[in-house]
Amino acid sequence: MSERQRADTTGLGDRAVTGGFTGQITLDGPSGTGKSSVARGVAARLGAAYLDTGAMYRAATVAVLDAGVGLDDEIAVARAVTGARIEVGTDAGTEVVRVDGVDVAERIRGAEVTRAVSPVSAVPAVRRHLVAQQRDLVAEADAVVVEGRDIGTVVLPDATLKIYLTAAPEVRAQRRAGQLGVTDPDKIAALAQDLRRRDEYDSSRADSPLRPAADAVVVDSTDLDQQGVVARIVELAASTVGAGERA
Ligand SMILES: Nc1ncnc2c1ncn2[C@@H]1O[C@H](COP(=O)(O)OP(=O)(O)OP(=O)(O)O)[C@@H](O)[C@H]1O
Ligand SMILES: Nc1ccn([C@@H]2O[C@H](COP(=O)(O)O)[C@@H](O)[C@H]2O)c(=O)n1
């Protein structure tokens, strides 16, 4: 079986509460700010679909690594990605990530993929290919939460609600360490450096760099727990319900 039930990291169980939201919520921000956990929690609360675009870039990276091409060979990288069948599910409760029919849900979280994903994601032809898939997947849902780096700025510029999630770098490194069960201070410092390296790469690329959309609501989660962040976004989503009719 290639589908894994996602652990309920939201603390909300299956309390899908807020009916009535239709539209698109974008959740962008640097690495380790809590985008995936928060996006899943918001989708569960709203009964919305959920799309992890980072998982798509990671799956694309698996295709590149398996093709054995150099990361600096943009043409070969693009060919490897466009030639692969990349599937990512949109159910917040079940993680589906496949490349050419093979389950890569665990492999995409490994160090080899994490090291290579930013250079692969910086290739414009790779982005064009995956952005088209992302828009197709979004078009299938009445309500959807989409997380990544360029969702509010490039993929869905007309989204209903845009969130840019931030958190202090040292807090993000501690959270990532907790997620991975790392306690050694040297290893935590290495995790912090990995977050910094990826953020610099993602923010400085020419195509679709990481940055907040002009109309995004910035949510700083440094002093908020996960449930608090989910609650804040659900509240913002609720304020959009019926706004179109009232305007
Ligand atoms: N507000 C919060 N308070 C405490 N821990 C949090 C909070 N938000 C998320 N976390 C935890 O931080 C860790 C990283 O979160 P997550 O993987 O969702 O971040 P991310 O932004 O999607 O990361 P990446 O961009 O690297 O994929 C997880 O263990 C998650 O449970
Ligand atoms: N919209 C996106 C999403 C992700 N990326 C790139 O993928 C990397 C992995 O993302 P995670 O959210 O799974 O950590 C990320 O560092 C970016 O390089 C992207 O470019 N655009």
- Reported ipTM: the value is 0.97
Looking at residue 4, what is its pLDDT? 52
Residues 150 and 232 occupy one common structural domain: yes
- Point out the residues of the chain with pLDDT beneath 70: 1-19, 242-247
DSSP annotation of 215 reads: T
What is the tens place of the pLDDT at every residue in 9-46?
444 444 444 468 999 999 999 999 999 999 999 999 99
| Residue 16 covered by a domain | no
Looking at residue 241, what is its pLDDT? 82
Residue among 8, 26, 33 to mutate when testing ligand 1 (max atoms within 8 A of CB) = 33
Looking at residue 1, what is its pLDDT? 36
Residues 157 and 136 occupy one common structural domain: no
Residues 78 and 166 occupy one common structural domain: no
Domain-ending residue, one of 119, 140, 161: 140
| Residue 219 covered by a domain | yes
Looking at residue 166, what is its pLDDT? 97
DSSP annotation of 154 reads: I
Output the domain CATH number for residue 208: 3.40.50.300
Query: Locate tokens 């450096």: which residue?
Result: 193
Q: Please report, for residues 129, 131, 154, 223, the alpha-carbon distance to residue 28 in angstroms, rounded to integers and kept in the order given.
A: 19, 15, 11, 18
Looking at residue 11, what is its pLDDT? 42
Residues 44 and 91 occupy one common structural domain: no
- At a CB cut-off of 8 Å and minimum separation 6, what does 75 contact? none
Atom 3, ligand 1: residue with shortest CA distance: 225
54 among annotated binding-site residues: no
Query: Locate tokens 């985008």: which residue?
Result: 35
Residues 62 and 130 occupy one common structural domain: yes
| Residue 4 covered by a domain | no
- At a CB cut-off of 8 Å and minimum separation 6, what does 223 contact? none
The phi and psi torsions of 147 (rounded to 5 degrees) equal -115, 150
Residues 155 and 43 occupy one common structural domain: yes
- Is residue 12 within 8 A of residue 41, CB to CB? The reply is yes
Is the CB of 202 inside a 6 Å radius of any atom of ligand 2?
yes
Residues 135 and 58 occupy one common structural domain: yes
| Residue 11 covered by a domain | no
Residues 44 and 153 occupy one common structural domain: yes
- At a CB cut-off of 8 Å and minimum separation 6, what does 38 contact? 27, 165, 221, 226, 229, 230, 233
Looking at residue 237, what is its pLDDT? 96
Q: What is the bridge-based pairing of β-strands 94-95 and 97-99?
A: unpaired
Looking at residue 15, what is its pLDDT? 43
Residues 159 and 44 occupy one common structural domain: yes
What is d(CA 5, CA 94) in angstroms, rounded to the nearest whole number? 4
Question: End-to-end distance of the chain based on CA atoms, in angstroms?
Answer: 48
β-pair partners for 88: 97
Looking at residue 13, what is its pLDDT? 42
| Residue 17 covered by a domain | no
| Residue 133 covered by a domain | yes
Q: What's the domain range around 88?
A: 53-140
Residue among 118, 175, 224, 232 to mutate when testing ligand 1 (max atoms within 8 A of CB) = 175
| Residue 103 covered by a domain | yes
Residues 101 and 129 occupy one common structural domain: yes
CA of 149 to the centre of ligand 2 (A): 6
Nearest Cα neighbor of 109 from 65, 63, 58, 61 is: 58
DSSP annotation of 6 reads: P
Looking at residue 5, what is its pLDDT? 53
Residues 172 and 59 occupy one common structural domain: no
Domain-ending residue, one of 91, 110, 140: 140
Domain-ending residue, one of 140, 173, 200: 140
Q: Where are the alpha helices (DSSP H) in the chain?
A: 35-46, 53-67, 74-82, 111-121, 124-139, 169-180, 185-204, 226-238, 243-246
33 among annotated binding-site residues: yes
Q: For the chain, what is the domain count?
A: 2
Is the CB of 61 inside a 6 Å radius of any atom of ligand 2?
no
Residues 42 and 151 occupy one common structural domain: yes
| Residue 9 covered by a domain | no
3-state helix/strand/coil string of 44-77 = HHHCCEEEEHHHHHHHHHHHHHHHCCCCCCHHHH
CA of 5 to the centre of ligand 2 (A): 22
Looking at residue 8, what is its pLDDT? 45
